[in-house]
Chain A
Amino acid sequence: MQFSNLNLDYFSILPEIITALAGVILMLIDAFSKKAGRKLSPMFSLFALVATLASIIALWPRASYTASFAGMIVNDHLRLYFALVIVACGIIATLLASQFLDDEALPPGEFYALMMFATTGMLMMASAGDLVMVFLGLETSSIATYVMAGYRRTDLRANESSLKYFLLGSFSAAFLLYGMALTYGATGTTNIEGIRQILIAGKVIYPQMLLVGVAMMLVGFGFKIATAPFHLWTPDVYEGAPTLVTAILATGPKVAVFAAFLRVFAEGLGTPTAPAVGAQIYDNWINALAVMAAIGMTFGNIVALAQRNMKRMLAYSSIAHGGYTLIGFLTTEYAPVGFYMLTYALMSLGAFAIVQMLAREGDAKTEISDYAGIGFEVPNLSFPLAIFMLSMAGIPPMAGFMGKFYVFKSAWVSSPNLRWLVIVAIINSIISVYYYLYPIVVMFFRPPVSDFTKPRLSPMSQLALAITIIGTLYFGLFPNGALKVLQQKTPGAQQVAVQK
C-alpha cells in the first residue's frame, strides 16, 4: 500500500464524525449529570442530527467516484442519498424517543448515545467503498441496536428479543465475514470497485471460491434485511423490543444494509457482460435474489394475514416490504431501491410511532383487538394510522403506492426474463390489502373497548407524527422531486481506487 495515496479527506466523513462525537458527548452528559441529561440529551442529539443533515447536503456538490481513505469511503450520490434517509430516520426516532423514555421511566442518556453510535455505523455502511468498511459499519450499528432492543431491562420479553437479536445477528455477521474473506481470497482485493474491475478483466484467481464467497455474503445480507428464508428472528425481536426500538430496527439499519447491499452486489458484482465467472456470478446472484424476493413477499404477506398482534403483523409486513425492495435490484440501479426505502421508512416509522403511543407502559396494548372502536375517540391517531396502513398496502395517493409502482415498473422494463417476479409482487400487494385494512375496520367499525384512555402526546411526538404523515402524502402526490434527486448521475467514470 502506498502511503502517499491514502487520500485523507476528512470533509467526506464529516457526517460520521459529527454523529460519533455527539455519541461520545451524550455518554459523558449522562455520566456527569443524569438530571441534566433528561432535558439536554434529546435537544443535543436533535441538534447533532440536523448538523449531520447539513453536512450531507454540503457534501452534495462534491459527489464523485474518487474514493478517499485508500478506497474505504466513496462519496457518490448513492452514499449521500442513503445517508440523508438514514439521518431523517434518526431525527424522527429522536423526536419520538423523549416521550417514550419519560412514559416508561427509563434512563435517558444512554439511549441517545446508542442511537448516535448506531447512526454512525449506518452512515459508514452507506459510504463504504470496501468490504471491510461495510462490515465495520454493520457491526457498529448492530452492537448499538442489540443493546437498544433490550433497553427495557426488567422486561423478560425485551431480554428475549435482545438475546435473540444478538445471537442471530452475530451468526449472520459470521456468514457475511466468511463470505468477504472468501471473496478476498478469490479476487485478491477487498475493495468493491477493485472487485468489479477484476471481474471485468476476467482475472479472478479462484472462481469457485468467489461463488461460495458471494453466496455467503448473500446469506449475511439476507439475514440483516430480514428477507425470507433468513427472516426467522424478525417477528420475535420486533415484538419483544420496545415499540420505539422496533421502529428504529425496522427502518434505519434496514435502509443502511440495503445501501451496502446495493454497493456490493449491484455495483461490485453487477457485471452481466464480464467474461467467464463475472457473468456467471451476476446470473447466479440475480436469480437467487429473485427467488429470495418472491419467497419473502409471499411468506411475509401470508403469515401476516394470521397475526392478531399489531407489532407482529408489522414485522411480517416488513419482511414482505424487504421482498418488494429486492425487486429493485433487478435494475442494478439504486434509484428504485432508494425511493422504496424512503417511502417505507416514512410509513413504517409513522405506523410504529402510533402503535407506541397507543401501547401504554410496557407495551401492554398491542393486540389489534385493543384498538376496537377507538377510531373516533382519538382521531388524531386513528386517521394517521389508517393513512400509513393504506400506504403500506399500496393504495394511491400514498407514498407506498408510488414506491411500489416505481420499483415494479423499472424492474418490468429492465429485465424482461424476470417479469414473473413483478407479477408475483402485484398478486402479493393485493393479498396484503386484507391485513392492512383489518386494523382500520377494527378501529372504526367495532364497538369500543371499555378501558380505553386517551394517550398523552408530547409536542415532539406530534412533530414526528406530522413529519411522517406529510412525507407519506407528499412523496405519494409529488414524487418527482425525490426521483430527480435519485436519478442524478455522479460525474466522472467509476475509477479503481488506489490499492496495493
Chain B
Amino acid sequence: MKEYLPILVVFLFVLGFAVTNLVLAHLLGRHRNTRAKLMPYECGIDPVGSAHQRFSVRFYLVAMMFILFDIEAVFLLPWAVIFRSLSEKLSRPFVYAEMMVFLIVLLVGYIYVWKKGVFEWNRG
C-alpha cells in the first residue's frame, strides 16, 4: 500500500487547493450580490422555465472538441514522463514516432472540423 501514498498526497493537495481558494475568496472578496449572481448556476441558461427547449447543436460540438483535446493531454503527459525510460528499452525514434502518429491523426481531425465550420460561432 506504501506506493499509493503519493496519490493520497495528491488528493489531499487537490482538496486543500480547492478549499483554500474558496475560503480566501470568501474572506478577501467584495460581496456585491446582484440578481444574476444569486441565481442557481446553470451555465448561463435561465434556470426557471420549461426544460423541453431546443438548444444549439454547437454545445455538443464544443463538448466533443473538448474531449478530443482533453484526451490528447491525457495521453501526452504520461508519454512525456516515461519518454526517457521507454527510449532505453525501445528505440528513441520509435517512441517518438508512435506519439507523432497519434498527434497527426488528431491534427487531421482538427483540420476537418475547421473546414466543416465548427469554429464559425456566429453562423446561423
Contacts and interface: CB of A to CB of B under 8 A. Distances in A.
Interface in B102-116: 105, 108, 111-112, 115-116
A3 B108 contact: no
Nearest to A4: B89
Contacts of A27: 108, 112
Interface of A, helix, strand, loop or mixed by DSSP: helix
Contacts of A28: 108, 111-112, 115
A3 B89 contact: yes
B65 to A, nearest CB: 15
Interface string B111-124: 11001100000000
A31 B108 CA distance: 11
B15 interface: no
A24 interface: yes
A31 B89 contact: no
Q: How large is the interface on B (under 10, 10 to 19, 20 to 34, 35 or more residues)?
A: under 10
Interface in A1-31: 3-4, 6, 24, 27-28, 31
Nearest to B105: A24
A477 to B, nearest CB: 46
B112 A3 contact: no
Contacts, number: 17
A3 B90 CA distance: 7
Nearest to A8: B94
Interface residues of A, number: 8
Nearest to A3: B89
Contacts of B111: 28, 31
Nearest to A27: B112
Nearest to B113: A31
Contacts of B89: 3-4
Nearest to B108: A24
Interface string A72-115: 00000000000000000000000000000000000000000000
Given A3-B89, A3-B90, A32 B115 contact: yes
7 contacts: A24-B105, A27-B108, A28-B112, A28-B115, A31-B111, A31-B116, A32-B115
Given A3-B89, A31-B112, 6 more contacts: A4-B89, A6-B90, A27-B112, A28-B112, A28-B115, A32-B115
Interface of B: 89-90, 105, 108, 111-112, 115-116
- Enumerate the 6 nearest inter-chain pairs by beta-carbon distance, A residue then B residue, closest first: A31-B115, A3-B89, A31-B112, A27-B112, A3-B90, A24-B108
